[in-house]
Amino acid sequence: MILSGGALSEARRSSKGRLKSCRIHDYLYHFCRDKSKAEKFLPVASRFEDFFLDMPHIYLTRTMIYSSEPDWHCSWPSPLPEEGLFQGIDRFVRVLDLGCINIGNTFPWEIEKLVHLRFLSLQGRMAVIPSSISKLWNLETFLVKGREGKIALPDTFFRMKRLRHAHIDNCTFSDSNLSQLDCLQTLSTPSLSYDTGNIMRSFPFLQKLKCIFLESRGHRFPILDFLSQLESLNVIYQGKRMFLPCEFNFPSNLKKLTLSKFRLPWVEISAISALPNLEVLKLLSEAFVGEEWNVSDEEFPKLKFLKLGNLNITRWNVSDDAFSCLEQIVLQNCRHIEVPSCFGDSCSLQKIEAILCGDSVSQSVRKIEEIQCEEMGNSNFKVIIQNPNRD
């Protein structure tokens, strides 16, 4: 009812077609903001003046500071208020979102007193998370957006037994005093190498992982197949071009995989094509290099979504019995690839999207659309071509 009335509109869907976010109408937004402030549920401040001056006597259990102005200076005010940064926040606060401002080089010492926090989001130039972070023993979601370099996590991070979601940009772990975090479900973005991959054994029930794979001796990929609950994996490679062969060790339960910057030849994709439960595959930013990709029969048996982005492939050869469950193809900035004509006869394919691709890509996609709609009678088949480039 709210969606049909225009108060909410769809903003973003996942690769599996699930609704991820919505846009809210200005009138509804202002009503909710004023109502939450009046009832002390979630006062929202868009300026430091609002937060420190307009609400000095309100004890907040949920707090969010944000900026919708592109030229707004995202940093703590100077000089700081005499009462401190958190004078308006009740010690029983459970949700604290400071993710849209730069808190500087130092982790705020006041936060360690907020022991009832369930959700904490920060942004800054800090290089180290203090050991006192473990005092937040109720914390379930911890977000840190780093603005410069790596962020070192202390040994005490492994004492946060209730932590479920940790998103800390380019974070590193100490390999001493490790213990299991059985509740942790999602983790991003640790820097890993083959030598430090054993740290992941501290997260046996991890379901979603985004990591940076650093160049290491032998260029061997970290062993991850012991993560039996892992369903989503996003890996970005940083280093020189890898030596061959590359031995991927992915868990068999993996359903979603994103690879970037590996610069591997297409022959190395065989370990991925055999994953029995893979449904979503994104190959981005030279994940594989080479002009020709050959896909054999029965490869990618359960794949539903395929995205190819910033690849130099020109010849894509697909056997008739490959991609038997594929529903959607997204091509982005692949200038000369031709989508195989056999997709025109696919009974599962529902949509092809081409973004910033060349004329040859658009022509091949239109041919498939013609076959699907006219010969296969698939009136629901969709083609979206955005910002085409001239060959």
Chain position carrying tokens 């909410």: 8
Q: What pLDDT score was predicted for residue 71?
A: 45
E strand residue ranges, 141-220: 141-146, 151-152, 165-172, 186-192, 208-214
Percent over 70 (pLDDT), the chain:
81
Chain position carrying tokens 């001056």: 53
Q: What pLDDT score was predicted for residue 289?
A: 92
pLDDT in tens, 359-383: 889 999 999 999 999 999 999 999 9
Cα(387)–Cα(391) distance, integer angstroms: 13
Tokens of 319: 């056997």
Cα(151)–Cα(129) distance, integer angstroms: 7
The angle formed by the CA atoms of residues 291, 294 and 298, to the nearest 5 degrees, is 155
Q: What pLDDT score was predicted for residue 160?
A: 95
Mean per-residue pLDDT over the chain, rounded: 84
Most confident option among 59-63, 315-319, 384-388: 315-319
Q: Find residue 208's DSSP bridge partners.
A: 186, 232
Residue 316 pLDDT class (50, 70, 90 cuts): very high
Residue 83 pLDDT class (50, 70, 90 cuts): low
DSSP state of 287: S
Q: What pLDDT score was predicted for residue 84?
A: 54
Q: What pLDDT score was predicted for residue 360?
A: 87
Cα(144)–Cα(151) distance, integer angstroms: 9
Cα(106)–Cα(124) distance, integer angstroms: 8
Q: What pLDDT score was predicted for residue 215?
A: 76
pLDDT in tens, 178-234: 889 999 999 999 998 877 777 899 999 999 999 999 876 666 778 888 999 999 999
Inter-residue contact 150 to 173 (CB < 8 Å): no
Taking residue 103's Cβ as centre, other Cβ atoms within 10 Å add up to 21
Cα(341)–Cα(365) distance, integer angstroms: 9
- Provide mean pLDDT across the span 298-315: 95
pLDDT in tens, 119-144: 999 988 899 999 999 999 999 999 99
pLDDT of 48 above 60:
no
Inter-residue contact 326 to 350 (CB < 8 Å): no
Residue 67 pLDDT class (50, 70, 90 cuts): low
pLDDT in tens, 338-366: 899 999 999 999 999 999 998 889 999 99
pLDDT in tens, 223-267: 888 999 999 999 999 887 766 667 788 999 999 999 999 999 999
Tokens of 292: 């020709």
